[in-house]
Amino acid sequence: MRLADFIEENAGEILETAQAFARTQAPAGVELSAKELRNHLPQILKAIVTDMRSPQSSSAQQAKAEGRAPPQAGPESAASYHGRTRAIAGFGVNQMVAEYRALRASVLHLWSADETLSRDSIEDMVRFNEAIDQAVAESLAEYSTEVESWRQIFLGALGHDLRGPLTAVVFTADVLAEKTRDTPYARHAERILVGAERMSKLLNDLLAYSKSKLGAGMVLDRDLCDLGDVLVDEIELLRAALPGTAIRFGASGTTQGRFDASRLREALHNLVTNAAKYGDPGSDVWVDVEGDADHVRLSVRNAGATLTGDDLHAMFDPLRRGAKNASTGEHMSLGLGLFLVREIVTAHGGKVSAASADGFTTFLIALPRDA
């Protein structure tokens, strides 16, 4: 009997065996009900049987074996639905994969006990394992998407709920700083205000990150402006905020275009702050704006240890930590700042890149004048 026919005729026993096996894979203290274990497995088993009976080219076979078969048109597959609902139900990824392990073990154990292996049997096992692997890939993809979505919803809700109390703290600290000016308490009040404002900036970054990851993207308010003039104002603020760092600024060419000036000032602020924090102590930071026929280019350069290709590749990823700063011993906690730079530039239709060689690291932003 071919394996597809065997699965179809013995589906009940296969599912019972798979259910018992999967229950043993649950983490300590977690008990899976029969309904939770079986609510999608029959549909997945049916899809596997259909797949095994369909014609298949060698290239399609290879793609399926590697879990990268193209998505099928039509309704959501049973495997994708399985992964999504398991995520919503609070299953761990290991629990979900254990169900497929149980299903595979159940089918092969019962079939090998019933059949004498033949050439067709080996082909059937290959097709069966390919179908299982593809189902696992579909479930994991949907599971990961669902988990990430809820993670971002949580971050957004947390940021939103913290904004009210933090606004009150900033306002109160501002009042205290004003009232205690020229008193022994002035330094303490100023420290509270600076800390609260820093927390507010981090919270805004968190909300922007969460919104971007949820698919809303970066919202721009474009207007005709001269980026050279706009960034000069931000440079002056940065010089006041970073008195220990000499910031060299230069502009050349025509730097006008339709930009969101506030967002690009934010991007420059993040880049220069990052350069001052992780560059060699006391070294200069160079900022240059240059316009050509189609683009306005912004570069930020600092002296420091040459970064590896892996560091540069991961630098714009959110919530990533780089190598230690050689001079301070501090980890390069890149957080959300460089991620937001990338989002701002991407929303403008531009590109941002980083290069590191000969003791210098350079960030380069290229913005189309009117995307």
Tokens 């009210």, residue?
A: 164
Query: Which one-letter amino acid corresponds to residue 290?
Result: E
DSSP annotation of 276: H
Give the residue ranges of DSSP H helices in the chain: 3-9, 11-24, 34-38, 41-53, 58-65, 78-88, 93-114, 119-179, 186-213, 227-241, 261-278, 309-314, 337-347
CB neighbours of residue 72 within 10 Å:
12
SS3 for 271? helix
pLDDT tens for the 371 residues of the chain, in order: 788 888 889 988 888 887 777 677 665 555 666 666 666 788 888 888 988 888 888 887 777 666 566 666 667 788 888 888 778 766 778 878 888 888 888 888 888 887 666 667 878 888 888 888 888 888 888 888 888 777 776 676 676 667 767 878 888 888 898 899 889 888 888 888 888 888 887 777 777 766 665 555 567 889 999 999 999 988 988 888 888 899 999 999 999 999 999 889 989 998 998 899 888 988 999 999 999 988 999 999 999 888 887 788 778 776 554 444 434 444 444 356 787 888 889 889 999 999 999 999 999 999 998 76
Give the span between the Cα atoms of 13 and 253, in whole angstroms. 76
Give first-to-last CA distance, the chain, whole Å. 63
> Can you give the pTM of this predicted structure?
0.53
Measure the CA–CA gap between 33 and 80, rounded to whole angstroms: 21
| Distance (Å, whole) CA 113 – CA 106 | 11
Domains in the chain, start-ordered, CATH in brackets?
1-217 (no CATH), 223-368 (3.30.565.10)
Question: Are 78 and 40 in contact, with CB atoms under 8 Å apart?
Answer: yes
